[in-house]
Structure 1
Amino acid sequence: MPRLIFFCGHAGTGKTTLSHKLIGPLMQATGEPFCLLDKDTLYGRYSAAAMAAITGDPNDRDSPAYLDNLRDPEYQGLLDTARENLMLGISVLVVGPLSREVRAHQLTDPAWLHMPAGTRTQVVWVHLPEDEAHARIVRRGNPNDAYKLTHWEAYRTRRFMPDPAEYPELIFFDNLAPDAAALDRLLRTLAS
């Protein structure tokens, strides 16, 4: 059966970069086809148009207007697209913060996910210290981060680090300076 692998974590932790590094080796290690579904790629242009209409700011991805109107439908569409690929026998890497869903233990709940029976689901929590994530967000210079950076004190209240004892379903990955051995261990865990 196909695999559903989530790469979750807060902004600036390197979820997308990590998933790009691992998708080829995962296909090679498992012999399975994979697709990559990144929330920002799938919904970035749509969100820009919608937020320009709602708030006048096409780069807004963190205001209450975005969180109340677009966040959940984007994630629902992301999961619908994953489900469709899984039903076709294609394994899926899903990239997005999904912090509310992680906090609620929903990403490994088959009843909540509604994925095809037998889908193997894994959730990687990609993490960094807050100061390093902030520095990476500043360095990447993405206009979509402007609201977050301007309102960092409010944004940081939504950041959390799951306790491994309370979230045994998560695969924790420290992305501060992973070496080849750490990447290989993660690959082997995901490919097993």
Structure 2
Amino acid sequence: MPRLIFFCGHAGTGKTTLAKRLIGPLMARTGESFCLLDKDTLYGGYSAAVMGALTGDPNDRDSPTYLQHLREPEYAGLMATARENLALGVNVMVVGPLSREVKAHRLTDPAWLQVEGDVTVRVVWVHLPEAEARRRITLRGNPNDAWKLAHWDDYRTRLFMPSAAEYPELTLFDNSAPTEQAERLLKSLL
């Protein structure tokens, strides 16, 4: 029974770092291999080329143009790649914001996931206080974050924090103290 684990959350919360930190211990404790699918790794170069052609800014990942033309195809490709691996019996960790999908409770909806067979699904929502996430985004200096930082008031309107009561399918992970909570998260994913 393959596993599908999502690491979701807003920019700067440490989704990728956390997934990479946990993949080794998950493989060691389960004796199983995992495929890591990070949206930025899979589509970063492609999106840069398309956005460069559309807007002249290859680093644009948050403008209305990006959201209208590339967001959905990127996620469709990410999920198709995950499904292909799961069908082969390979465990998959998917890293990406996926905030719209989380809001709509899609990540545990078998009809939306379109996965075959018995797949165990876990969804981790990685979060930080907004000020800390913005600080980390600024410090990492990724050109893809330029639009967010330049239009923070617009960007922040898309930020939300799911509640445990409204989103029981999520494992909420406060990444402001990851060392203390990582072992507990690892056990919950097993």
Give the TM-score of the pair, scaled to structure 2: 0.99
**What are the equivalent positions in structure 2 for 1:1-192 lying under 5 Å apart?**
1-179=1-179, 181-191=180-190
Shift of 1:117: 1.8
Amino acid at match of 2:106: Q
- Give the distance between the partners of 1:187 and 1:75, measured in 2 at CA: 25
Shift of 1:30: 1.1
- Give the distance between the partners of 2:113 and 2:90, measured in 1 at CA: 16
Paired residue total: 190
Amino acid at match of 1:190: L
- Give the distance between the partners of 1:113 and 1:86, measured in 2 at CA: 11
Shift of 1:47: 0.1
Instruction: For residues 57-103 of structure 1, give each alpha carbon's deviation from its aligned partner in whole angstroms, at most 9, with x where no partner exists.
Output: 00000000000000000001000000000011110000000000000
Secondary structure, counterpart of 1:126 in structure 2: strand
Give the TM-score of the pair, scaled to structure 1: 0.98
**Percent of aligned positions with the same letter in both sequences?**
71
Shift of 1:31: 1.2
- Give the distance between the partners of 2:69 and 2:83, measured in 1 at CA: 23
Secondary structure, counterpart of 2:83 in structure 1: helix
Q: Which runs of 5+ in 1 are unaligned?
A: none
Aligned-pair RMSD on alpha carbons? 0.6
Secondary structure, counterpart of 2:178 in structure 1: coil
Q: Which runs of 5+ in 2 are unaligned?
A: none
- Give the distance between the partners of 1:177 and 1:121, measured in 2 at CA: 25
- Give the distance between the partners of 1:12 and 1:76, measured in 2 at CA: 23
- Give the distance between the partners of 1:127 and 1:68, measured in 2 at CA: 25
- Give the distance between the partners of 2:32 and 2:109, measured in 1 at CA: 23
Instruction: For residues 21-65 of structure 1, give each alpha carbon's deviation from its aligned partner in whole angstroms, at most 9, with x where no partner exists.
Output: 000100111111101000000000000000001100000000000
Secondary structure, counterpart of 2:158 in structure 1: coil
Secondary structure, counterpart of 1:107 in structure 2: helix
